[in-house]
Amino acid sequence: MGGRGGDPERPGRVRARREGGPVTGEPALRLTVFIGENDTWHRRPLSAEIVHRAHRAGLAGASVFRGVEGYGSSSLIHTSRLLSLGEDLPMAIVMIDTEERVRSFLPELKEIVGDGLVVVDPVEIVHPRGRAR
């Protein structure tokens, strides 16, 4: 079940290709990329491109969050309120892993993130996700 590389506990999902993400108490970095919902890379949503590249690079995980309101360098406010029809809402892609893995992924982001903002900050893992180790 789940096919080649799949996770039998979560059908339809592909298991990460590596072991050894950050553990409780180990220093780690959070990599956050802020982009617009309409941003693309070769006609594909930029958020999907970032997640797939992070997966191929072996990062521990990536999540995409869609904002309800915000503005960036253009100072134009984007909102999901009814009258604005939710055009080009802000998005954040968040990844957390060891410093080595995060820093080695940064050149790939520089290649594809045009007007977006890329932020790296230190985090402390206080409770691991998933099974007990």
Integer angstrom CA distances of residue 31 from 39, 81, 103, 122, 123:
18, 29, 9, 9, 10
Assess contact for 91 and 67: CB atoms under 8 A.
yes
CA distance 1 to 12: 9
Q: Are strands 40-41 and 44-45 parallel, antiparallel or unpaired?
A: antiparallel
Residues 6+ apart with CB under 8 A from 69: 77, 78, 79, 80, 81, 89, 90
* CA 79, chain centre distance (Å): 21
Residue with the two structure tokens 């820093």: 103
- Which residue has better confidence, 76 or 124? 124
What does the pLDDT read at residue 99?
94
For residue 49, the model assigns a pLDDT of 98
Average pLDDT, the chain: 81
% of residues, the chain, pLDDT over 90: 52
The domain ranges of the chain are 34-124
Q: Is the pLDDT of residue 122 over 90?
A: yes
- Classify domain 34-124 by CATH number: 3.30.70.120
pLDDT at res. 16: 45
For the stretch 78-94, pLDDT in tens is 776 655 555 788 999 99
SS3 7: strand
Per-residue pLDDT of 2-57, as tens digits, reads: 444 455 555 445 444 455 677 777 889 999 999 999 999 999 999 999 999 999 99
